[in-house]
Amino acid sequence: MLGLDFDGTIASIVPDPERAALSPQVLALLSELSRCLLRVVIISGRDTDFLASRVPLEQVSFVGNHGLEERQGSRSRLFPEAEMFVSALERATAAIGHSGALGIPGVIVEPKRAAVTVHYRNVSDPDSTGALLANTLYPIARREGLELQPGRRNWELRPRLRINKGEVIRRVADATGPAAIVYMGDDRTDADAFLALKSMIGLETVAVGVQSPEVPDQVFIDCDLMVEGVAGATQALAQLLDVCRNA
């Protein structure tokens, strides 16, 4: 089984999150891998509709919003635990709009089914803007019963639930029964998946960290291998495909 994050792992980080896409090479590799592996699943903070639009491969599975949403066939659905937070997320999105955050040049607000992400990659001073946004967003998250989590030049408000990428990996593994699992990711939320692999008994597991200057080294403490950026992840996928072909 192959598990993959999307942004920063198989798709390059871009100024406008809506313009993120796979290279033709990565798309071709995923197409080949999905035919020779038991399962390929993309586990991302994105909505699954977005993921399906960028990875138009029937054999690939999608889990979105860090485990709160999945896509079955042509339809996406929230898990019941996340449904109860929809109204709170809508109120939080409205509050962010009234807070003045959108008045900061370069700030982008991305509402999603089970989260809302505030991007500040494009501002003139990301460090000071990130701290300013944290002071603005934390009271909103607390009032609505949400968590405020840091990402790569973004803050995300999400449901306060004990569901993460590690739980997703366990759930998918239980459903499919793989003999081995490879997982690749680049950000703090992927650390839960790396840690989960360490606790899986009777399985061969490989945790692959995708490094960047924006993510601290401690995120990758449970990784078995490290690669540099999307280019390194692409090379790792090509090597995995070679292993599959020669098996």
10 Å Cβ neighbour count for 84? 12
49 is known as an active-site residue? no
Alpha carbons 232 and 243: distance in angstroms, whole number: 17
163: its two tokens = 């569901």
Instruction: Please work out, in degrees rounded to the nearest 5, the angle formed at the alpha carbon of residue 90 by the alpha carbons of 76 and 136.
Output: 125
- Tell me if 194 sits within 8 A of 225, measured CB to CB: no
168: its two tokens = 């997703």
Terminal Cα distance for the chain, rounded: 15
Alpha carbons 237 and 88: distance in angstroms, whole number: 39
Which residues lie below 8 Å from residue 38, measured CB to CB, with a gap of 6+? 1, 176, 178
Which residues lie below 8 Å from residue 84, measured CB to CB, with a gap of 6+? none
154: its two tokens = 């973004």
Nearest to 5 by CA among 136, 185, 151, 155: 185
Alpha carbons 98 and 203: distance in angstroms, whole number: 49
Instruction: Give the active site residue among 5, 7, 190, 192.
Output: 5
Residues marked as catalytic:
5
